[in-house]
Chains A and B, each alone.
Chain A
Amino acid sequence: MSDAVIDLDGVDKKYRFFQLSDVTLRVVPGQIAGFVGPNGAGKSTTIRILMGMIRADRGSVRVLGRSMPREQAAAKWDIGFVSEDMRLHTSATVGWHMRFIASIYPGWDAAYADTLLRRFNLHAEQPVKVLSHGERVKAALLLVLARRPRLLLLDEPTTGLDPVARHEILGELMEVVTDERRAILFSSHNTQDVEQISDQITFIDRGRIIDSSDKETFLDRWRRLHLEVASGSLPPTFPGVVDTVVSGRTAIATTRAFTAELPAAYQRAGVTVRQIQRLTLEEIFVANVMNNRGPQ
């Protein structure tokens, strides 16, 4: 318990039109945790709570062993935070920001910073105000990556980036966890990136955590079964099947708890299993959210 880099327990936060309820999230060193949810689900709010910018109404918030927001100044020595809506000082240059951060953090690695400048195709003399959205995000990421913090909290770090930039960023993020004392929590609605590099995935919708597991378990347990039923009958619903769509004699069942037993169970019930498909994380995400929201 004590070695978790992020430990959220039963966090509630109420706003006028939105509420975070019972958010529990744990990230250990060496992990990349993906935090996925639709817009407005509460990803940014949760990350701001982790940064001590927002105080939870209830529950405990510990980051790097420190209680937030009370110990936020101390915790932030070792946290790197980038959010998609964050802005740098428009009247300064990229280089000014690098020197500013270097003057505050002793862990600044100037050589690595220069490597990142080249890799991200940025220049120190560039004024921030001429940067495109993608370049701004890359600049902000450079500023946190180059000081090698133990924990990175990234709120939509690849949103709005072109594929080349995303590839570069994902590469740098993977480099971070070659050190198994470091960890990353990143929120995204880009499920491709989450699927590729996350170890742990947490789904959030409408302020509630709806599912949380390691990536391989998600990809193993969700399946789509293409079924053929006898005319006029309906396929049975087995535990774990979240959705069955029937049209004529064809049915498609989506399950979140697939085992080798399931197709056999269908066969025994007289239903032919024509095909078994895996789901991409995006499909799992959508199915999970739809199932959580219930009939609309």
Chain B
Amino acid sequence: MNRSIVWQVVAKDLFFMRWMIVGAIVAGAGALAVMPQGRVPGYVGAVSLICTLIVLLIFLVMGPIVQERKDKVVLFVLSLPISTTQYTAAKVIANLIAFGVPWLALTIGTFAVVAMSQIPDGVLPFWTAVMGYMFFYYCALLAVGLLSDSAGWHAASIVTGNISVNFLIPFLLARPSLKGNMEGPAAIWSSDILAIVALEFALGIIALGAAFHVRTRKPDFV
């Protein structure tokens, strides 16, 4: 089995996604720069950062994953000495890196901004749960993109993902450990917040793993 072909395809994909990665980091950095400058800028910065990640995940899934299949570029890549399973693995790995790097950079960036500015540390557990949810949303959309060619399902998933953020936020704010402590100077890492974050990661990985499993079991790749 030739492992290096997988990495060559990963490198190729990252090359084509480079502007999305850079663009997301730059836009996110802009949002981070705005955040510490007051209450309203804080909201604006936070919302912009979330939107940046949502736009990134949509482009990452709809382009290199879905469009490559629809445009039949997949036939070109499959003509290489690569199995269909290796192809799916390469696509997923490259896509995870392309999302993961900006996501991680911006999460760490937020922590740094909060630590260094007058933004209360109490906001961090809330923010971590929101970022964890972004990871879950990305994994779920990637799972849908791997399995479905239907524009209907893609659109439904995106709309559901976006709207669900609107339910996530009040839900998080209602958590007893966050209620009232958001403006506080200390970050309260309660067990239910940690459980929520762990659940977000777990569900994301399970959804992605299941989609990968189903995709590679399909006898007809094209």
Q: Do chains A and B touch in the complex (CB under 8 A)?
A: yes
Chain A residue with Cβ nearest B67: A90
Instruction: Give chain A residues whose Cβ lies under 8 Å from the Cβ of B76.
Output: 86-89, 140
A55 at the interface (CB under 8 A from B): yes
Q: Is the CB of A76 within 8 A of B80?
A: yes
Chain-B contact segment, one of A26-34, A45-53, A257-265: A45-53
Residues of B in contact (CB 8 Å), total 23
Complex: A80 Cα to B8 Cα, angstroms: 18
Chain B residue with Cβ nearest A89: B73
Instruction: Give chain B residues whose Cβ lies under 8 Å from the Cβ of A92.
Output: 16
Complex: A91 Cα to B220 Cα, angstroms: 27
A53-B221, A69-B84 known; A104 vs B8 contact (CB < 8 Å): yes
B166 at the interface (CB under 8 A from A): no
Chain B residue with Cβ nearest A81: B79
Chain A 64-88 interface mask (CB, 8 Å, partner B; 1/0): 0000010011111101111101111
Q: Is the CB of B8 within 8 A of A86?
A: no
A100 at the interface (CB under 8 A from B): yes
Q: Is the CB of B84 within 8 A of A52?
A: yes
Q: Is the CB of A73 within 8 A of B83?
A: yes
Q: Is the CB of A104 within 8 A of B81?
A: yes
Complex: A74 Cα to B5 Cα, angstroms: 11
A48-B222, A54-B221, A103-B8 known; A86 vs B81 contact (CB < 8 Å): no
Residue in A73, A87, A100, A140 with the greatest tally of chain B CB atoms within 10 Å? A73
CB within 8 A of A86: which of B5, B79, B84, B221? Answer: B79
Q: Is the CB of B72 within 8 A of A85?
A: yes
Complex: A81 Cα to B82 Cα, angstroms: 13
Complex: A274 Cα to B81 Cα, angstroms: 58
Complex: A87 Cα to B70 Cα, angstroms: 10
Q: Is the CB of B81 within 8 A of A53?
A: no
Least CB distance from A150 to B in Å reads: 13
Instruction: Give chain B residues whose Cβ lies under 8 Å from the Cβ of A76.
Output: 79-82
Q: Is the CB of A54 within 8 A of B72?
A: no
Complex: A90 Cα to B73 Cα, angstroms: 9
Instruction: Give chain A residues whose Cβ lies under 8 Å from the Cβ of B80.
Output: 76, 104
Complex: A83 Cα to B74 Cα, angstroms: 12
B12 at the interface (CB under 8 A from A): yes
Instruction: Give chain A residues whose Cβ lies under 8 Å from the Cβ of B72.
Output: 83, 85-87
Q: Is the CB of A77 within 8 A of B81?
A: yes
A sample of 8 cross-chain residue pairs with beta-carbon separation below 8 angstroms, ordered by A number, consists of: A53-B221, A73-B81, A79-B79, A81-B79, A86-B76, A87-B71, A89-B73, A140-B76
Q: A86-B79, A87-B75 are in contact. List 8 more A-B contacts (CB 8 A).
A: A52-B84, A53-B78, A53-B84, A54-B220, A55-B220, A72-B84, A73-B81, A100-B12
Closest 5 CB pairs of A and B: A55-B219, A86-B75, A81-B79, A76-B81, A73-B83
